[in-house]
Amino acid sequence: MAMNHPIETKIYKRWFESYLFPSSLFMLALIGSMIQLNMSPKLFWEGIPHFFSLVSEMIPPNWEVFSKGKILWSILETLAMAFLGTLIGCTGALLCGLLGANNLTPSKLIGETVKRALAAERSVPPLIYVLLLIVVIGLGPFAGMIVIALGTTGMLGKLFAEAIENVDPKPLESLESTGATKLQIIRYALLPQVIPSFIANTLYRFDINLRFALFLGVVGGGGIGVDLQMAMSLFRYADALAITMVTLAVIWSAERISDYFRKRVIGQEVLQ
C-alpha cells in the first residue's frame, strides 16, 4: 500500500529527540547549580561517618535538660505564640474577609484595597517582617506572635473572602425576598455556609503556624527554636535530641487535636 505522505517519525520514535532540548537545558541548570553550590559527592562521603558519630552522640537523649524548666517554658512559649497568633490572625481574617468579598463589601474601593493589602502582605517573606519587628519592639515571642498573626490574616483573609464570594446565592436570595435585613441575611444564610470551611482552614493554619514558630525562635522571635539551635551548635547533641523529641511530641499532639476538631467541623458540614 503506497504511502502518499512522508512518515513523520521523528516525533514518536525517540523520546529524547523531542524532549532533548528542554531536558538538557534543565540538566545543565541543575548540574551547574549543584557545582556552584559546592555540592560535591565528596561532601556526601565525608558526611556519612559524621552522621554515624552524630547519632551515637545523640543517643541516649539527655532528659536532664528539662530539669531547669527553661526548656519547658520555651516549648509553652512556642505553643502560645502559635495559638495566640492564629487566634488574632483569624479574627483579623474574618474582618478582612467580610470587607474584602465583593458581594458583601460596603464599597468596591474598600473591597479592592483590602484584597490588595492582603496580597501584598502575602508576598513578603515573613523573615523580613520578623527581623524588622524585632528592631522595633525587641526580641522575644511577642514579635513572633505578631508575625504569625500577620501571616495568618493574609492567608485566611484571602480564603475567607473567596469563600464568601463563592457562596450559594439561593438561600441568600430567598431570605431577601422574605424581607430580611442585610445583617440577618449574613447571619442566617451566609455565615452558616462559610463558617465550617473557615474553621477548618484556621485549624490547618494553626498546624503551619506551630512549625513556623519553631523557625521564628531561631531568628530571635522566642520559643524553642533558639534553644534547639543553640544545643546543636554547642555540640550538645544529647540535649538536642531530648528537646527534639519532646517538641515533636507536642507538635504531633497539637496536630491530632486540631485534626479531631477539623473532622468534627467538616463532618457537621457534610451532615448539613
Residues at the interface with other proteins (CB under 8 A): 1, 3, 7-9, 11-16, 29-30, 33-34, 36-39, 43, 46-47, 50-51, 54, 76-77, 79-81, 83-84, 87, 123-128, 131-132, 135-138, 140-142, 144-145, 211, 214-215, 218-219, 222, 225, 228-229, 232, 237, 240, 244, 247-248, 251-252, 255
**Cis bond leading into 196, ω under 30°?**
no
Of residues 15 and 21, the one with the C-beta less far from other proteins: 15
Q: What are phi and psi of 16, to 5 degrees?
A: -75, -15
Give least dist CB 63 to other proteins, A.
18
Give least dist CB 15 to other proteins, A.
6
Q: Rg of the Cα trace of the chain?
A: 26
Of residues 72 and 95, the one with the C-beta less far from other proteins: 72
Of residues 38 and 178, the one with the C-beta less far from other proteins: 38
Cα–Cα distances (Å) from 268 to 191, 200, 272, in that order, read 14, 11, 6
Give least dist CB 167 to other proteins, A.
23
Of residues 100 and 141, the one with the C-beta less far from other proteins: 141
Give least dist CB 252 to other proteins, A.
6
Of residues 104 and 156, the one with the C-beta less far from other proteins: 156
Q: In this structure, are residues 152 and 205 in contact, taking their beta carbons and an 8 Å threshold? A: yes
Nearest to 198 by CA among 156, 168, 250, 227: 156
- State the CB neighbour count (10 A cutoff) for residue 13: 10
Q: What are phi and psi of 106, to 5 degrees?
A: -65, -35
